Amino acid sequence: MSARNTVQRTIIEDELRRLANHPTADEVYDAVHEEHPSIGRATVYRTLGRLSDEGKIGRVRINNGADRFDHQPFAHYHVRCTSCGRVDDVMIPLLEDVNGAAAEASGYEITSHTLQFDGICPACQGNEATPA
């Protein structure tokens, strides 16, 4: 059963799409709260979780960091800057049958996988001192 399309839900989803930068739940809350102070933190967290569970948005699980939310719900990879924490999309073809290969190698029934690239974003590369 799909959740009701409440005003708060629409505001939160619209704000995520406006941000379009893989924000954390706190960042979505801060943006929503500026224009709609009556919408509470719990409502934002709960709504983002539901939208993710329903497949309407993506949830990017970051190793050793807060989950990020993606306004693009389709399967794709992400890269995280190890300097500033920025997260961006990596639009390359998805690995074919990686779940099947992992299942065969491990004996597990694989239900999903994540692949996160780590590196230094272009902005941080420009801020690094040039090596001598």
**Cβ contact 16:28 at 8 Å:** yes
pLDDT surpasses 70 at 111: yes
Q: What is the mean pLDDT of residues 115-126?
A: 94
Mean pLDDT value across the chain: 91
Give CA separation, 64 vs 9, 23, 24, 50, 67, in Å.
28, 15, 13, 23, 9
Mark whether 83 and 33 lie in a shared domain.
no
Give me the pLDDT at residue 19, please.
96
Work out the percent of the chain whose per-residue pLDDT is above 90: 81
Give me the pLDDT at residue 130, please.
44
Domain C-terminal end among 34, 56, 73: 73
Mark whether 30 and 80 lie in a shared domain.
no
Domain count, the chain: 2
Give me the pLDDT at residue 5, please.
67
Mark whether 2 and 60 lie in a shared domain.
yes
